[in-house]
Structure 1
């Protein structure tokens, strides 16, 4: 396709999607699909249509954006939002907590937030979620609130019993949860995007920055900072911490949630070295956990036997609990202990990967995710976390392979209804 670079350039200008990031084959595939629908056999003719039709540009964007999400993906961020909202309301009882989910895809993220808030005791009158996406088809699916099996992953699905009704082989979100989310179309790169929006207390913009070039990343981060309340929080994907960390934002100190807040007065700006993802020894405590008393890895006590062995938390459950409290060194040691005593498992290596990710140790995180995938090639979370790491390291082809594997392991047609 001789006109593919110009077509890709138009997409990049419109939504920041870089052909070098997602791969030429993806762009060519969606262009050929649109050409077929328009009965065009010359890509130069298609380029002419694209340059003169906003409708066609939107149609191409709809195909180029491939949603990949599920309920309570990266649960730690959802629970952190609920906790921060509850704490905020305890200090300001009359306030309405404003939350932004951007991009919201087919709605699983904002609905998960609404469910987490309700489960945490926050009443519907105390919060409002705005959910924005560039893809109108995704918004239509989100508004219906009907989801198939592919939107429910992992073992803990108790939330589905609490917040969904069965619906002809699928599940529909309860109306009360749907009312808490306001969906709207929007483009992060539009000049007037949310120019007059009221500030948000909590913003989630996860796993999108990695698809942009550096200048666009900084443009979007500046936009998000402008949308944040002075005491607000921003949550990004695991591989995006180095993108937002700098002179304006610092870690919020919420392990495994990848949350950030404005730097306090007098705080030193991050150096260029700290903005990158350093390869550090596994025993180095992260910045936000150093105030937490820690036991050295070589002195970790074995789990204390409870009165009923069946009720004793597993080593991995203990490790996750420690990681959630910021004790990443001890959590990592328990993962190692679980592997030594119980044998290798995908979940143990995946949790180790998350811990290394939270500690900024990209190389070790990548190794652990690959070990998890060796034992369980269909481990969705490990595939997507590894894809994000590879994307952040500039390996677009490797990231695309991981995302394609994740898509192939999903059962077709069982996400939001098309």
Structure 2
């Protein structure tokens, strides 16, 4: 009885769902806090918890276990700097948010990446928010040991970190770019900076919420993010933003989405042969430059119309599928994709979009099949590679996922991206 009340309290305060984080995590945190308070009965602890905001915060600290490191998923930071360059405005710094910021590795990585991209200290500001006072204390202490440095990309340590007692600490210029705050996404009184933000990192938070809370979270994020701003989520969360008016930024392995303004979103109409009338034929004088003058001009114009118009209609239809998916109307997008496939035949892009819609509906087997079809037709389709790798990883096929990730990396190196 009391355990259920504690679950409900954590869900209301920070959005934590026991079905996703696991009951064992909450039970372990309860045992830890009851021991610290020297309380043996759950009923007695509940009475303390209900009347003590400080103890509730301690329980939150015990439940929220940080798992982060510097430059986790480097592609996200590349996407961030690319988007920041595009949004630069004279006299207005780029506003960035890290939520949750955990123990600080992510927001400090954001600052380093911005400096590496040529931004000055006056060009950007980073707000970093977390529900755990313990995490924030560690972030402000900013001394990091071996576990915070993983992977092969470690050369930034020589440029931005210095030796400190117990580990390495970011240089003062990095520390100054980040402002830490206590708060959570569902708290309307949370002390965020001056919204809207140009770029928000909200990675590996949504996976701890049930579907209703995920929906609420994405509505909150959309409010915090500027129109056409960039949202970066975790790999396991990449199917969610598209359901809430975000559009894929189409940057492989970055899991980045842009905030599409409803007013700017074009109205989607199901494709049909009558929807797009015949295009205006090219002037006869222009046609005669590329076609044999022996044939009648009217025949040439008809041939141009027959060769050009189907491809134009196919392109319009394909764009309609993508717009509908980006608007969050996934079921409609899937139907449009199937209609397109029947009318215009197979293509890498339509199989990719169909897979994306099925992915968003959690129809994993069907999505995998269509991603594979896209890759059969276009082996270098980077978005299909990235999404297929993610789905295989979710299903436990680590070897298959790593093979695709390696293939994606080789394509990126050859293309210079």
Question: Do both proteins adopt the same fold according to a TM-score greater than 0.5, normalized to the shorter chain?
Answer: yes
Give the SS at the match of 2:239.
helix
After superposition, residues 357-376 of structure 1 pair within 5 angstroms as 357=389, 362-363=391-392, 366-369=395-398
Which portions of structure 1, spanning 4 or more consecutive aligned residues, are displaced by more than 4 angstroms?
370-373
Q: How many residues align?
A: 311
Do the aligned residues in 1 keep the contact of 2:196 with 2:225 (CA within 8 Å)?
Answer: yes
Aligned to 1:115, which of 106, 112, 115?
112
Q: Alignment partner for residue 256 of structure 2, among 250, 254, 259? A: 259
Q: What's the secondary structure of 1:280's corresponding residue?
A: helix
**Distance 1:194-1:230 versus aligned 2 partners, 3 A rule:** farther
Higher relative contact order (CA 8 A, sep 6+): 1
Q: After the TM superposition, which residues 155-170 of structure 1 pair with which residues of structure 2 at under 5 Å, given as runs?
A: 155-170=152-167
Alpha-carbon distance between aligned partners in 2 of 1:150 and 1:261, rounded to the nearest angstrom: 32
Distance 2:113 2:377 in 1: 32
Contact 2:219 2:244 in 1 (8 A): no
* Residue equivalent to 2:361: 276
Aligned to 2:312: none
Q: Does structure 1 residue 97 correspond to structure 2 residue 94? A: yes
**Offset at residue 284 of structure 1 (A):** 4.4
TM-score for both structures, normalised by structure 1: 0.69
Partner of 1:81: 80
2-side partners of 1:283 and 1:370: how far apart? 16
Give the structure 2 partner of residue 135 of structure 1.
132
User: Structure 1: 5+ residue runs without aligned partners?
Assistant: 287-293, 298-321, 333-353, 374-418
Counterpart position of 1:316: none
String of CA shifts for 1:16-53, please: whole Å, max 9, x gaps: 11222222222111111111111111111101111111
1:285 touches 1:328 (CA, 8 Å); kept in 2?
Answer: no
Distance 2:101 2:113 in 1: 16
Distance between the aligned counterparts of 1:163 and 1:242, measured in 2? Answer: 34
| Cα separation, 2, equivalents of 1:86 and 1:247 | 25
- In structure 2, the CA distance between the partners of 1:154 and 1:113, relative to structure 1 (3 Å rule), is same
User: CA 1:255–1:285 in 2, change beyond 3 Å: closer, same or farther?
Assistant: farther
In 1, Cα distance between equivalents of 2:214 and 2:195: 22
Query: Which residue does the alignment assign to 1:409?
Result: none
The 8 Å contact of residues 197 and 227 in structure 1, kept in 2 or not, is answered as no
1:219–1:365 Cα change, 3 Å? closer
Structure 2 partner of 1:13: 12
Aligned equivalent of 2:299? none
Residues 294-350 of structure 1, C-alpha deviation per residue, up to 9 Å, x if partnerless?
9843xxxxxxxxxxxxxxxxxxxxxxxx7xxx6356xx5xxxxxxxxxxxxxxxxxx
What are structure 2's unaligned runs of at least 5 residues?
267-322, 332-356, 403-417
In the alignment, the residues of structure 1 paired with residue 251 and residue 90 of structure 2 have an alpha-carbon distance, to the nearest angstrom, of 23
Cα RMSD of the aligned pairs, angstroms, is 2.5
| TM-superposed deviation, 1:366 | 3.2
Q: Distance in 2 between matches of 1:248 and 1:62?
A: 33
| 1:118–1:364 CA distance, 2 compared to 1 (3 A) | closer
TM-score between the two structures when normalised by the length of structure 2: 0.69
Q: Which residue of 1 aligns with 2:43?
A: 44
User: 1:253: Cα distance to partner?
Assistant: 1.6
For 1:290, the equivalent position in structure 2 comes to none
2:207 corresponds to which residue? 210
Tell me how far apart the structure 1 counterparts of residues 238 and 394 of structure 2 sit (CA, whole Å): 14
Distance in 1, Cα, partners of 2:244 & 2:13: 28
> Quick one: distance in 2 between partners of 1:36 and 1:327?
51
Q: CA deviation at 1:200?
A: 0.4
Alignment of 1:317-332 (within 5 A): 327-328=382-383
